[in-house]
Amino acid sequence: MDFLPFTRPTIDDEVIRLVTEVLRSGWITTGPKVNEFEKSLAAYVSSDTGKVPYVKVFTSATGALETALQVMGIGEGDEVIVPAMTFTASANVVALVGAKPVLVDVDLKTRNLTIEGVKKAITSRTKCIMPVHFAGLPVDMDPLYELAKQHNIRVLEDAAHAIGTRYKNRKIGSFGDMISFSFHPNKNMTTIEGGALVLWKEAEAQQVDLLRFHGLQKDAFGNMDVLMPARKFNMPDVSAAVGIAQLKRLDEFCSKRLKLVDTYYQLLNHPLLNLPERGDDGHCWHIFSPLINFTQLGMTRPQFIQKMADEKIGIGVHYQALTTFTAYKDMGYSCPQAERIGRETVTLPLFPAMTKVDVERVCQTVLRYLN
Ligand SMILES: Cc1ncc(COP(=O)(O)O)c(C=O)c1O
């Protein structure tokens, strides 16, 4: 029996064909494929609404998030509200632009920040709210945007988990302020490494072009100027070629993930298990991460992970709460739900090439250890 990892990208012949074409073309860094990929992403997110945003791709979502904060003018003295249950990049970028990440607790079931939590965290210094659509389950965005509007605060959606997800029948990225996607290999689609930023204002899109490539500007005669020192986050054409092929299959990947998760919900039922909130059919599942009460089970999580590995099943951990990390633990935030999730979460295998039989095997094995 082969080892079943908790995730695996679907790299098909079309990806290999397109990448080979780029590698043979003589131009492998940022060029025509990046252009084409940005257009395809803009068309994808706007396919229901026809309202086409600006889409700018990056070498990572981390780069996209940091650049978005810079474009929003966020820095020293500003606060950005970030959920304590997320990958550390969400808060790191806030600290890196000189602002303060204000960590708020999340809901135990949805793993998402709550409107009430955000309301309590808003101060006169709050410049931005960064909701994370955890595991692809959308945050309740209508009241969040309403709240942001009332306080004149910007919203940067960390949608690293949520490309392909719909909120109230609208694709994430088809509305809102700024939205960042990740194309890391674990995500719903990949470019090997990569990310994208969706935005709506032309002036801000032009600023992104400067900030993701050295602050460099060229005029029509090829004269160069550097308007400000800036990072280098340009995606190569090889990655964009992977993304073009992946995007064509994204909806199929999402429906496969949804079906596999259906089986998890049918089979997994145990008093020591706490299953995550289930969205509607618009939920493109990034990860399936139930909580296990390890204290009652009388086993530690590393022991559980080892036992599952012995059974050839890979388990991930997404994530430890940010409030438990050295970089953030002395900031005085108390986020008990995020911390509990961080202690009890286990990510079970979920990727499009899995079969129902794989899910059944995972469930039988998990239940055997729980019993
Ligand atoms: C919620 C969240 N935000 C941001 C990132 C950063 O993405 P990238 O690895 O593309 O920089 C990740 C990656 O895991 C993530 O899960």
How confident is the model over 201-234, as pLDDT tens digits?
999 999 999 999 999 999 999 999 999 999 999 9
Query: Domain of 133: which CATH number?
Result: 3.40.640.10
Is the shortest distance between the CB of 135 and ligand 1 below 6 Å? no
Angle between helices 356-370 and 301-310 (to 10 degrees): 130
- Residue 203 Cα to ligand 1 midpoint, Å, equals 26
Mean pLDDT of the chain: 98
Of all protein residues, the one whose alpha carbon is nearest to atom 16 of ligand 1 is: 87
Cβ–ligand 1 distance for 182 under 6 Å, the answer yes
Going by their DSSP bridges, the two strands 195-199 and 54-58 should be labelled as antiparallel
Residues 94 and 164 in one domain: yes
Q: Are 59 and 231 in contact (CB under 8 A)?
A: no
CA 354, CA 240: separation in Å to the nearest integer? Answer: 25
- The single residue listed with the structure tokens 């388990």 is 315
What does the alpha-carbon distance between residue 320 and residue 370 come to, in Å, rounded to a whole number?
22
pTM: 0.98
1 has pLDDT over 90: no
What does the block give as tokens for 256? 């496969």
pLDDT, tens digit, 9 for 90 and up, residues 299-332 = 999 999 999 999 999 999 999 999 999 999 999 9
Which of 220, 245, 270 finishes a domain? 245
Asked if the structure places residue 116 within a domain, the reply is yes
pLDDT (0 to 100) of residue 162? 98
In this structure, is residue 2 part of a structural domain? no
Please tell me whether residues 178 and 36 are part of one structural domain: yes
Of ligand 1's listed atoms, the one at least distance from the Cα of 193 is 10
The 3-class SS string of 150-191 reads: HCCCEEEEECCCCCCCEECCEECCCCCCEEEEECCCCCCCCC
Distance 112 CA to ligand 1 centre (A): 15
Residue 7, domain member (yes or no): no
Q: Are strands 126-129 and 79-83 parallel, antiparallel or unpaired?
A: parallel
